[in-house]
Structure 1
């Protein structure tokens, strides 16, 4: 575990701390204080390429967390919190993804237990397994029913590869681990990127899927109806945002780019709706690959989505 670095945040200076970099408090995750009155966001990164590499993607996502921080720093600050705590990064220890996941799981579970709202920066989408596991374990112990919402071109319901977890398997692992308690919704799924075997498995576990042809702004009422149906009986929601779900016009710097993805405006409408539900417990944003970014626009998109979510808390 690495402590966060002050070098990750830069921006204009102001008298009244009007920018994000002036509102960041670098914190030690091993010295958590419980917040009694309402949740506060907690930033945490997972620096790993291993899951992406195992899934035959373009490596480089291990640099994603600090690229998001660098894009966050200069943004104007409008959240209601006096400061935002950043707890640094976890690593996968020279390719030992499983060990890295175990550490990440423990830290996220501890954040939840101390009444924080985890905001996890990736890294590959494999981190959704320890993240989702922490949310599930914490919430199920309190008899809460959890809904997992994934904004993504891919279902990420692939089986393990030679017995190893990877960036395409996190929701398969969660489905197999939690059975009837696993409730999953994927928004923006692209049929061309998901073979029939995955769609068959999604049907088997009764997943809610809105494919890319229907995940369009002009179909907002239909999307909202799906969300209302999925979320109606859930007490808690966990949102995972895979940047490769966006059109590569907005997000070229990802592990698996696509020209036919969704728009940032639609994603923000989803965030708005979810935050208004008052059921959101955690989120992550994954697959930023700075090696392939253009003018840092993908990192800036990730930062704007984080800023928007926390502003809506």
Structure 2
């Protein structure tokens, strides 16, 4: 079931700190190889999505298009405790205002990775990445009519706007509409919603669409039991999971390099706990990370934090219980 992944920008060699060439000195840049259709199933495939067109349409601060390369750079020197199969397929780039074309291309890339039995990790890019990633899951062999998809969004925003033009603020409304059209079922849940950052209309939309959510001030370190219960309920209700991390879920002191820094935010400890639970569930099919804006970052703080979360998820990821098999 090997699949071709088509991108706009070919992968570049990864470089980083090197203390030696033996296994005990292993880092990401030693492990990452260019994507190959002949690679055995079961590895991680990195796919970049260079876009901030959705952010522009949502009247945000541009710069997230440079996020994929910044995340690769932040990951490169992270140490690995054991060898992992990690491939870089390159980057899908949105040209000009052609967001929908780029989202379709990203969807095809994600589908190809999933149908090859790999774990796609998509590096954004604005949160318009979410609709592209969803298209990839929806078109993959994993998504049968009876498969209930769970989307867990770590985010200060619902991103459920009903605007006529798609943006970084509309992807989960688009997904809900696509699921209704396809007559499939999904669960959309959000951890970290900031009340001051979401209008009453958006909360009403969330209730209408049966969106489960936890507010950011319900996600403190002392709220671990409630967060754990929320995640357990989510996992028990779905068959496969798409995890999306919008970095503005974190406090501005931790993640300043985003379009909309959070005045309050969810503690990194809580976000990491949620990521660990999802990674270990055996249901995680795809991950994307959105909204890193390197031009707004301070000392690469946001990129390094995001890279640590990606590192945790990839190294702790338990392969899908029923992955695609070779035909």
Q: If the length of structure 2 is used for normalisation, what is the TM-score?
A: 0.89
Shift, 1:248, TM fit = 0.5
Tell me, in whole angstroms, the C-alpha distance in 2 between the residues paired with 1:109 and 1:14.
37
Paired residue secondary structure (1:234): coil
1:195 to 189, 194, 199: 199
CA contact (8 A) 1:248 1:259 kept: yes
Deviations 1:64-116 (A, max 9, x none): 000011111111112552x3101111111122111111111111011111111
CA contact (8 A) 1:239 1:283 kept: yes
Stretch deviating more after TM superposition (9-18 or 298-307) = 9-18
Where does residue 27 of structure 2 map in the other structure? 19
Deviations 1:159-218 (A, max 9, x none): 13xx32110111010011103613100000001000011111111111111011111121
Where does residue 176 of structure 1 map in the other structure? 177
Paired residue secondary structure (1:121): strand
For residues 1-313 of structure 1, the aligned pairs below 5 Å read 1-6=8-13, 8-16=14-22, 17-27=25-35, 32-33=37-38, 35-36=40-41, 39-81=42-84, 83-138=85-140, 139-141=142-144, 143-160=146-163, 163-179=164-180, 181-313=185-317
Tell me, in whole angstroms, the C-alpha distance in 2 between the residues paired with 1:9 and 1:205.
45
Tell me, in whole angstroms, the C-alpha distance in 2 between the residues paired with 1:229 and 1:136.
23
- Structure 1 gaps of 5+ residues are none
Shift, 1:23, TM fit = 0.8
Shift, 1:120, TM fit = 0.3
Tell me, in whole angstroms, the C-alpha distance in 2 between the residues paired with 1:10 and 1:142.
44
Stretch deviating more after TM superposition (128-137 or 267-276) = 128-137
Q: If the length of structure 1 is used for normalisation, what is the TM-score?
A: 0.93
Shift, 1:266, TM fit = 1.0
CA contact (8 A) 1:9 1:69 kept: no
Shift, 1:126, TM fit = 0.4
Shift, 1:34, TM fit = 6.3
Residue 214 to residue 4, structure 1, CA distance change in 2 (3 Å): same
- Structure 2 gaps of 5+ residues are 1-7, 318-327
CA contact (8 A) 1:190 1:211 kept: yes
CA contact (8 A) 2:57 2:168 kept: yes
Tell me, in whole angstroms, the C-alpha distance in 1 between the residues paired with 2:263 and 2:290.
18
Tell me, in whole angstroms, the C-alpha distance in 2 between the residues paired with 1:147 and 1:226.
13
Tell me, in whole angstroms, the C-alpha distance in 2 between the residues paired with 1:69 and 1:91.
15
Shift, 1:145, TM fit = 1.2
The alignment's C-alpha RMSD in Å is 1.5
Shift, 1:2, TM fit = 1.1
CA contact (8 A) 1:80 1:311 kept: no
Where does residue 323 of structure 2 map in the other structure? none
